[in-house]
Amino acid sequence: MSLPVLPALTAPVASPLDLIGRTPMVEATRLDTGPCRLFLKLESQNPGGSIKDRIAISMLDAAEREGWLKPGGTIVEATAGNTGLALTLVGRARGYKVLLVIPDKMSKEKIQHLRAMGADVRLTRSDVPHGHPEYYTDMAERLAQQLPDGFYVNQFANVANAEAHVKTTGPEIWEQTAGSVDAFVAGIGSGGTITGVAQYLKSVGSDAQIVLADPVGSTLAGIVNEGVPGPEGSYTVEGIGQNFVPDTADMSLIDKAYSIPDAEAIATVRELLLKEGILAGSSSGTLIAAALRWCREQTEPKVCVTLVCDTGAKYLSKVYNDAWLADQGLGERDIHGDLSDLISRKYAKGDVVSAGPGDTLDTAFKRMRSADVSQLPIIDDGRLVGIIDESDIVHVMNTDAITREARFKKPVGDVMTRDLDTLQVNEPLDALIPIFDRDRVALVLDGEQFVGLITRTDLINHLSLNR
């Protein structure tokens, strides 16, 4: 297949909104694609960092045209983050207020980004089903009804959602592949992408297979493959997968579905970064894993297209954080059958934030704050000699009759606790309970070597992952 030559540069534009769409496509040449060629459309290159920029323009244009959204009004939406970012980008540029309802499992980067852009963000529960008053779509609709100028976008039933992909994404894929696409792989969040692209491809006579990439725990793959919803469960991938069929999704257009476990999706997206240099989000891992499965099943050369839905910069604290993956039971780690299995941040690997006895309290406190921990082990010449926590620092602040500046200059060794609650790594789980009853953390040793800390949260997480 020969690809058309596109202009290298375009003229300057008046607004970031003018840069939405016309995203580049790159071939994955270092992944195992079997006999096929796999092309990735980089929707992460949109100014808002995701494919949702396309539908934000489309849905707000339609709302203004039809009179649902008046000047100075409030845009209200339920979102996993990316649609919210796109609506905020477009809506704030047009002078609207934006109120977003987001499930509490979404990455902090997305939430911080939204608030920095001026959106009013309301977090709600991610552990309740569609129809529950605290489910994000139900809450958003209710809030919109309470606002006299509120417009509930409802991407899950908004016809302008799929229309954006009929008019832009589909034609771009057709142009960039010179009309030779054999399969298109996408997920379903709101359903607009897979529906709109499929409608366009069929309208130009393409016989490309439409393939659904669905997280394990979403019910949608079962509907495609067996005609009934699949088993419902939880998953960490953000932005795709549902326990209901959105009105926007035309399931009859989908030919095949793959259920992708979180671990496979995350391993795929991290491999994409290592081998192809593309920093992509968690849902992209699901899509690319499904595309790779499809490619490897083929017996002759074919062309498959999927999406890098958004940038991985929004998931650095999760998908690209080894400690977070370990906490979720998703990281690659050796199981030893001892207390070290509870420790996701090990000292020997450099994962433990620590201080030395000669460091100042100011240094120790700044390390605690930047790492979002409440205690630090104190290491001297490779050996554990103490621990300091917030209460130790507060005690110094309240009792010493010296200036505040001098207090923070005190060495950690003068303040740290030397009476340590240590356990050997081969002791049983039950040995943790007396330490936790004293409101302390367990310091685990292997002989004299410091292994790491165990907190109540570590124990609970371990029991939850190993039920």
Neighbours of 42 (CB within 10 A): 18
Residue 13 is encoded by which pair of tokens? 């534009």
Across-strand partners of 307?
41
The DSSP call for residue 414 is: G
- The active-site residue, picked from 218, 283, 340, 344, is 283
- Taking Cα atoms as reference points, which of 378, 373, 37, 6 lies closest to residue 176? 6
Query: Catalytic one among 41, 44, 50, 52?
Result: 52
CA dist list (Å): 358 to 110, 320, 411, 421, 430: 38, 33, 5, 22, 35
Between strands 209-215 and 256-260, the pairing is parallel
Strands (E) in 107-218, as ranges, are: 120-124, 150-152, 183-186, 209-215
C-alpha–C-alpha distance, residues 277 and 301, integer Å: 25
**Catalytic residue flag (residue 283):** yes
- 169 to 164, 183, 289, 453: CA distances (angstroms): 7, 15, 21, 49
Count of alpha carbons within 13 angstroms of residue 221, beta-carbon side: 24
Half-sphere exposure of 407 (CA within 13 A, CB side): 14
Distance CA 241, CA 229 (A): 12
| Amino acid identity for residue 401 in this structure | A
Task: Residue 257: name the closest of 283, 285, 226 by CA.
Answer: 226
Report whether 227 contacts 173 (CB < 8 A).
no
Burial class of residue 225 (count of CB atoms within 10 Å of its CB; 0-12, 13-18, 19+) = middle
> At what angle are helices 361-371 and 390-399 packed, to 10 degrees?
140
Pairing status of strand 25-28 against strand 37-42: antiparallel
The residues, any chain, with a CB within 8 Å of residue 61's CB and separated by 6 or more, are: 160
**CA separation for the pair 102, 288 (Å, rounded):** 25
Place of tokens 């970064």: 273
- For residue 345, which of 371, 370, 369 has the smallest C-alpha distance? 371
The set of catalytic residues is: 52, 283
